[in-house]
Amino acid sequence: MMKLLFIGDVVGRPGREIIGERLQRLRNELGLDFVIANGENAAAGAGLTGAVAQTMLDAGVDALTLGDHVWDQKGFETEIARFERICRPANLPAKCPGRDHLILEKNGFRLAVFTVLGRQYLGMKSECPFLASDRLIGQLAGQADAVFVEIHAEATSEKQALGWYLDGRAAAVVGTHTHVPTADASVLPKGTAFLCDAGMTGSYLSVLGRLIDPVVAKFLDGMPRRFPVAEGDVRLSGVVIEYDPAAKRAIRCELLTVRKAAG
């Protein structure tokens, strides 16, 4: 049995710290073979840097994915190429820097990983996530034993539709971007683990990981202002998936919430 933890969008230092404090123990306790995390908000809440990525890889994350905030940190567009365990969204224009997928290996089992951006209410220049998934899954045939697909999207309809579209072809389709964990973890009929949103790893005393007051104020007056990363009620949110390589299907998909120890 192959066991995977996917960690939802890591927001700023509080998100990175709970990974540093808890991940190694989780790896041992749960017997995890692979740990993947979305790092699109890991650097000060927006984007990723090489240094920040390295702290998460050192803390026990095997691979980092990204989303619409992929290029928010200046210079990351040149740094990304030297990280073999980081991939940018696969359906960005082909000329964008960075890998469009990764292949992780454990005890001879090869897990391919890629992220596609949704196109509903998301302003990135990107190719159709459905056709991009088709293309990559086709390309990965023979190179990987299972495929993990992250759908980084705003609309739950687009996420669910992709889950059904890839049922039986992907080991899992897991949503990110909305930062709110959803209560729909399941294994679809043809064996694909599915969850609309893995939630956020960061402060839940917040609006999507940022301090509440400036966000509320922006909704009231529309004026530009900074949105500092919040620090209260820090949780690690993700999904644990078990996959049976012999049956070639997921057998378990459960939301995981870990709260930071008090004090």
Pick the stretch among 4-12, 75-83, 153-161, 243-251 that binds Fe ion (CB under 5 A). Answer: 4-12
Running DSSP on this structure, what letter comes out for residue 128?
-
Q: Which is nearer to Fe ion, 60 or 67 (CB)?
A: 67
Query: Taking a C-beta distance cutoff of 8 angstroms, is the pair 250, 171 a contact?
Result: yes
Q: Which is nearer to Fe ion, 33 or 68 (CB)?
A: 68
Q: Label each residue of 73-120 as H, E or C.
A: CCCHHHHHHHCCCEECCCCCCCCCCCECCEEEEECCEEEEEEEEECCC
Each residue 27-46 as x (binds Fe ion by CB under 5 A) or -, in order, gives -------------xx-----
Between CA 120 and CA 112 the distance in angstroms is 25
Instruction: Tell which positions 52-71 bind Fe ion, by CB under 5 A.
Output: 67-68
Q: Does the active-site annotation cover 177? A: no
Shortest distance, CB of residue 69 to Fe ion, whole angstroms?
6
Per rule CB under 5 A, count of chain residues that contact Fe ion? 6
Query: Taking a C-beta distance cutoff of 8 angstroms, is the pair 9, 200 a contact?
Result: yes
111 backbone dihedrals φ, ψ, rounded to 5°: -110, 120
Return the residue of 22, 177, 235, 249 that touches Fe ion, per CB under 5 A.
177
Shortest distance, CB of residue 7 to Fe ion, whole angstroms?
12
Query: ∠ at Cα 197 (193, 201), nearest 5°?
Result: 115
- For the annotated catalytic residues, the residue numbers are 69
Using CB under 5 A as the criterion, which residues of the chain lie in contact with Fe ion when the complex forms? 9, 40-41, 67-68, 177
